[in-house]
Amino acid sequence: MTAGERQRWPSAETWVDVAWALFAAANLVGMVVFASWETVPFHFIWVSLTLLYGFRVWPAKPTAITLACVILGTGALILVDVRHGAQPIDEITEVPLMSAMFLAMVWHARRRLTVMSEIERVSEANLQLLERERRFVQDASHELRTPITVALGHIELIERTATDPELREDAEVAVEELLRLRSLAERLLTLASLDEAEPLHLAPADVDGLVADALRRWGPAPRTWVRGELTAGVARVDRDRLALALDALVDNAVKHTNPGDRIELAASRRNGTVRLAVSDSGAGIPSDSAERIFDRFARADSSRSREAGGVGLGLAIVKAIAEAHWGTVRARSSPGGGSTFELALPVSGPDGSPSGEPSRQA
């Protein structure tokens, strides 16, 4: 027994066992004193033992010793009462019957314990597998960034200096693919960091200003940009992650629209919720893809997304950031009718503090 275990002994469970032992001893005395009423304390002993074991599963050896002591004690006292004529001989049959009831409880309890142990083992194995997978993704993404950057620099140099049109065309294809790989590595790193459930760095932020900044950043893209309603005001959010989610939504809209198509950004506050919306007049989302577009590596239109450089992780990042803020993201779309993606973040109180666990706040 370690020093810590000695300090904690006797534990609460030990006191429960001691209390039951005293209760059983008192009932054994009752069986002697009130011989004509011995059936009452007799059943008190057996029922209390069964109930206690139902809440606490003892190891096999203590269980066998306790059962043997109860069988011998109650059986011997019943025989004494029978010998003195206080009870009929058939009362002795109660002992094996109650023993059978207790053994049934033992069987069910130990089976339940075995099942729970197996569930815990499988859960622990799954957690370890997920952790190894997350570490692999993170490490692989880190290791890919440097060689991709080096290769991209060399290929871009070849593209700029090549005089052979065919070689220049091949270099352009290589540059596009390397840029896709770099984007994939960066987004995998982002998802890995979000999966670590790190605390949000919450601080008051101008949500309308975030939307205006996004419009300025994306303004050079050849689309018809529309500034929608901006009435969200200041909210306590993780500004960097929210900006990342907004960029991912705008990037998704750009990829699924053509030059001249309309993209609208808006922010509002309604019913205690800050809502950011990105709408476009693109081709929309096929109905059979609407349920899975927020899954990792999912694409509503795989061929178009690949031509546009998509890696199928942007909307998954948006979903992860929304859930980290205890919020949601949803899409409204119809084929040929454009799409609207809305990010909803709950707030509470006049200061705009997100509802949820305070421990997540920085």
Residues 243-262 pLDDT 10s: 889 988 998 899 888 998 99
The confidence score (pLDDT) of residue 250 equals: 92
Contacts (Cβ under 8 Å, ≥6 apart) of 162: 168, 171
Asked if the model's pLDDT at residue 224 lies above 90, the reply is yes
- Using a 10 angstrom Cβ sphere, with 0-12 exposed, 13-18 middle and 19 or more buried, the burial of residue 175 is middle
The most confident of 106-120, 139-153, 347-361, by mean pLDDT: 106-120
- Cβ atoms of 294 and 316 within 8 Å: the answer is yes
Q: Give the pLDDT band (50/70/90) at residue 5.
A: very low
- Could you give phi then psi for residue 61, rounded to 5 degrees? -65, -50
- Cβ atoms of 353 and 290 within 8 Å: the answer is no
Q: Among 325, 312, 352, 185, which residue's Cα sits nearest to residue 241?
A: 325
Residues 98-121 pLDDT 10s: 888 888 888 888 888 888 888 888
Q: Give the pLDDT band (50/70/90) at residue 352.
A: very low
Asked if the model's pLDDT at residue 225 lies above 90, the reply is yes
- Cβ atoms of 268 and 275 within 8 Å: the answer is yes
CA distance 226 to 75: 89
* Least confident residue range of 19-33, 90-104, 280-294, 315-329: 280-294
Q: Which helix (H) or strand (E) holds 159?
A: helix 94-161
- Cβ atoms of 46 and 70 within 8 Å: the answer is yes
